[in-house]
Structure 1
């Protein structure tokens, strides 16, 4: 399984991953929704910034995954704070994620920026920030440019 993951453009998450400043991402919800329990070590995450262009710009391999049990607000905050050196969240992001009952922390390795490409989201009805795909090739939009011979 591979996953298409949206990153916050205004928080410069892609740049932080590219520079090595950030090595972990977090997702959370009030219930056990994607990506809870669906990500395993060795899977590839493909990254898009949530700025509207829909272009995949980076990829990384999942090194470690932690799926929390049900957390209180203080437990969620403590978990975020314990991992802040790798997460590098802004105060607004800390507030957002610390209020979730279930958190998924994913440590990444082998991050790389890639030549941008578009994906086809038509098979995904929701506007979620996490899209599980069997392989990226299933959703990759092939360029319509013709090569000159």
Structure 2
């Protein structure tokens, strides 16, 4: 399964993945929303920065996935802190994910920079930062 994943531009998430310093992606919510339970080891993540250009610029393979049970604010903050070395979150992102009831931690490997290409998002909601696209070729437009 292929996924299109939006990364925080200000936090330099793509740069940090490219350099190998960042090896884990996090998503969190008060309920079980995407990608909770929908990502598996071996899936491929395609990365887009949230700066409006909509270009896929890299990809990586999912090495492992952790879907949390319902967490307290303290447990959630503790989980984020314990994984901060792999997540490399800036203060804003750290604050955003600490305290969420459900966290998904996705370890990635084999990051590859790609020749940029656009995707067709028309089948997905405006605010989604995680798109389970099944096959990247189905949404590739260039």
- Does the TM-score normalized on the shorter chain lie above 0.5? yes
Instruction: Report the secondary structure of 1:114's partner residue.
Output: strand
Where do 5+ consecutive residues of structure 1 fail to align? 143-149
TM-score w.r.t. structure 1 length?
0.93
Q: Name the structure 2 match of 1:87.
A: 87
Across the aligned residues of Structure 1 and Structure 2, the Cα RMSD in angstroms comes to: 0.7
Q: Name the structure 1 match of 2:116.
A: 116
TM-score w.r.t. structure 2 length?
0.98
How many pairs were matched up?
A: 142
Deviation at 1:73, TM superposition (A): 0.6
Matches within 5 A, 1:4-23: 4-23=4-23
Q: Which runs of 4+ in 1 moved over 6 A?
A: none
Q: Name the structure 2 match of 1:75.
A: 75
- Partners of 1:97 and 1:35 in 2: CA distance: 14
Deviation at 1:90, TM superposition (A): 1.1
Instruction: Report the secondary structure of 1:81's partner residue.
Output: helix
Larger Rg: 1
Q: 1:31-81: per-residue Cα shift (whole Å, max 9, x none)? A: 000000000000000000000000000000000100000001100011011
